[in-house]
Each structure stands twice: as C-alpha cells, then as structure tokens.
Amino acid sequence: MVKKAIGLVIMGLLGFWGCATYTPPPPGLYIAEIPAEVTARLSLDERIQAEDAWTSLRDGNDRKAEKLLSRIGIENPLYYTGLGYVAYLRQDLAGAERYFDAAVLDHPTLPMGHLGLAQVYQDTGRDEMAFNEYREVLKSNPQHPWALPRYENIRKVKTEEALYDARTLSAGGDVAGEKNAYLRALYYSPSLTEAHISLARIYSSEGQHPDALVHLKAALESDPDDPDILLLYGETLEHTGEDAPSLEMYRRALEIKPDFPAAQQKIESLKNRLGIFELPSQYDGIPNSDNITKEQMAALIGVLFKESLAAPPGKPPIIIDISTSWAARFILKSASLGILDVYPNHTFQPEKTLNRAETAEILFRLIDRLNRAGHRFIQQLPPERIQIVDVPLNHFYYRPIIMMISYDIMSLSPGRMFNPDHAVSGREAIRLLEIILAQIK
C-alpha cells in the first residue's frame, strides 16, 4: 500500500511538472517559419535540433526550447530569435526585445528577428516601430501572409491619423504643424496624392518652388491624367522660370479637359510673354509628333532659346522652300546661326524628319553656339571611354553623337546601342532641349 501511495505521488508530481513546463503560447503570437536559406546551411543534427526547438516553441514548452537552442549555439542564425520567442512565452517582453534586436543585428536580412520585434512593439504600443519592422520583412517578401495585413492596417490607421491632424492644423492656421502632419502621412503612404498636393501648395506659398516640384512630380506619377495637378505643376514651373515645360503642362491639362478655362488662360498668357502668340496650331502639335521635322526643331529652338541665342550676324542665307512654312522666321534664325543645315541647292526641306544621329548633330551645333555666348557645358564622361556598338569611328555623325553622350544629354540603350537611324518624337526632342536649357539657367 505504501509503495502504491508513493508511486501515485510521484506520478502526480511528474504530471504537475509536465503541466508546468508547457505554457500555451499567447493566442496572437506568430512564430516565423525557419527560412530554407538557414536550414540549407545546417548539418543534419543541427537541423533536427532546430526543428525540435521550433516545435517546442509552438507547443509552449519554453524550457525544452531553451535547452535545444543552447545546443545549436550562439553562431546559429536561429539562436537569438529562438531565445526571443522563449522570453515571449514567459511574458518577458523586455528580454524578448533584446534577443530579437540581437537577431536583427547579426542577421538583418532574415525576416524572423524583424517579425519578432514587430510583435513586441505592437504589444507595447509602439506601432510606428512595428511598421518599420514589417516593412523590412516585406522588402524581401512583398506578399508575406502574416506581415502584409498588419503592415497595411498600421499604414491605414497612421495615415488617417496624420491626415486628420493636417486638416485640423490647417483649419487653425498652423502651417508648420500642417506641413509636418502631411509629411508624416507620406511616411506611411508615399504616393498619397492629397498630401503631395497640399505640401506643394504650402511650399509654393513659402517660395520654395523646387520643393513644391518634388511633390508635384510624385502626385503626377500617381495620377498622370489629373488636369488640376498638371495646372499646378505648370504654375510652379513657371515660377522657376521653366517656361517651356510649364507650357507643356498647361497643354496636357487642356488635352485632358478641353473645357478648362484656367489652363487656356495660362497658355495664352505664357505664349504672349514668350512672344509666340502669333504661332499657329502647328507649334502646339509638336509634343504629339511621332517623328519631329526640321521646321518643328527650328521652332522649338527659337522659342526655348529665345533669350539665350543672339541675333544672327550678317545677312540670312538664301532659302527657297520655306515661304509657306509656319516656322519660317525660326528656320531663318537657326539656319543663320548654323544650327540647322541649308542644303547646297538653297533648300531647307522643312518637313524632312530627323533621326537620332541628325538630332545629335543639331544639338551639338546648338551647344557650340551657346558656348560662344558664354555658357559652359561640363562633360560627364570622357569621350575616349565611350563605346558604341552601332556607330563606328567613320560614321558621319560620330563626333556629335559621342559628344552628346559625353554631356549626358543623349544616352545609349542596353547593349551600348545608339540606334542612329531611329526616329525622334516631339516629346523626346523637347526633353533633350530642356536638358540643355536647364544647364544654362
């Protein structure tokens, strides 16, 4: 009877100890899977011990997990993460945070430590810090099934809080506070149009137009067909003296919304100020041209570089085929300055389309003329280091092509191809001329 009683007591104690060892994990605790890249580096014994440790963690057996982790050693990438989960099971959040911090410090690209830290931060009311950890996880796994919904939830809540604060501060006239609130909103939602537009208006009102342009560009990337954004972008560009891009923005706004009096007024005002009010609709159609012509290029140069190019010296060249061209006066100026060619038979061929090689020659001559006027252009690449597969040394346009690449105005496609015979669109011609224009502003 005594032996039987002692046996019952021992069994009871064993049962008690067994129950004491197994503490059910907190309901919301997420124990990350062991990454395949980690297990691939482990020996068979280490892999078995690691899997047993992870099974023990999921069972709530913190003591067994701790013992197994001590065997795999501190050099193992699972060591600190596992101990973080052990501390978590024991409700020691401060200890869990220290271990997860160590895991992230040793192995920053592994998601396990970040996932552990995110949970500690959320449990301790530090959602902003949890957001950062979830973002680190999503960098390597954008669709992580556990991190993504929690990241999105924090993002949504924090964005709404920041927008509410911004609107409230705006109503109270606190511009500095409003600005900070919108910047906080963008931290959580970088493509938020409302925040970008509001910040652009604030910066413009403060005269910080370059900062305003940064936010307008971001807003336009999110919503490229919003005529109101295009209008505001155009107004801001106009403030910085970038008249040609400004005109382009107003035109795009009017294309999208034909009944847009504000855009129409801006176009007329800017054209009058630039002295191009007499230009017919052909000029307005240049951005939509699939292949730019010589007369269109002459008109663009004449308008964009109106203040930078002096009047041509001497008598203009004799040109017999531009009397009916809408760009005749611009052709005469560009030809007189030697920027565009007049052929030996005195024709200009205004409707001839230009390819990339011919465009490089025109831009090269334009830069040469601007250099003579006192402007300086800095080479970004030494010409001798530039290698082009499809433009040999004996190519007729070799030098201008090399120089345009050297100045970082034109570029090569993958495989070091220049594609000299490819067409140049109106928008591309405008972009190339604006690069040059920006360098002399």
What is the rounded end-to-end Cα distance, in angstroms, of the chain? 105
Q: Is residue 426 within 8 Å of 289, Cβ to Cβ? A: yes
Q: What pLDDT score was predicted for residue 24? A: 61
Residue 147 half-sphere exposure toward CB, CA atoms < 13 A: 26
| Contact indicator for 303, 244 with CB cutoff of 8 Å | yes
pLDDT at 2: 39
Return phi, psi of residue 353, to 5°: -85, 155
Query: Which residue, 431, 405, 408, is CA-closest to 420?
Result: 405
pLDDT at 391: 94
CA atoms within 13 A on the CB side of 328: 10
pLDDT at 280: 64
- Domain 23-144 matching CATH 1.10.3210.10: the answer reads no
Specify the pLDDT at position 252.
87
The per-residue pLDDT for 307 is 79
> Which part of the chain is CATH 1.25.40.10?
23-144, 191-278
The pLDDT score that the predictor gives to residue 43 is 84
Separation of CA 311 from chain center: 41
pLDDT of residue 80: 94
d(CA 57, CA 100): 15
Burial class (CB in 10 A: 0-12, 13-18, 19+), 345: exposed
pLDDT tens digits in sequence order for the chain, 441 residues long: 433 443 443 344 334 434 444 556 666 789 988 888 888 888 888 889 889 999 999 998 999 999 999 888 888 889 999 999 999 999 999 999 999 999 999 999 999 999 999 999 999 999 999 999 999 999 989 999 999 999 999 999 999 999 999 999 999 999 999 999 999 999 999 999 999 999 999 999 999 999 999 999 999 888 888 999 999 999 998 888 888 788 888 988 988 898 999 988 988 888 777 765 556 678 888 999 999 999 999 999 998 898 788 777 777 889 999 988 989 889 999 999 999 999 999 999 999 999 999 999 999 999 999 998 888 898 889 999 999 999 999 999 999 999 999 999 999 998 899 999 999 999 999 999 999 998 886
| Residue type for position 153 | N
The CATH topology of domain 191-278 is: 1.25.40
Q: What is the pTM of this model?
A: 0.59
pLDDT for the residue numbered 278? 55
Residue 396, pLDDT score = 95
Determine the Cα–Cα distance for residues 94 and 167; give it in Å rounded to an integer: 37
Residue 14 confidence (pLDDT): 37
pLDDT, tens digit, 9 for 90 and up, residues 369-419? 999 888 889 888 999 999 999 999 999 999 999 999 999 999 999 889 999
**Phi, psi angles (nearest 5°) of residue 178:** -60, -45
What is residue 286's predicted lDDT score, i.e. its pLDDT? 92
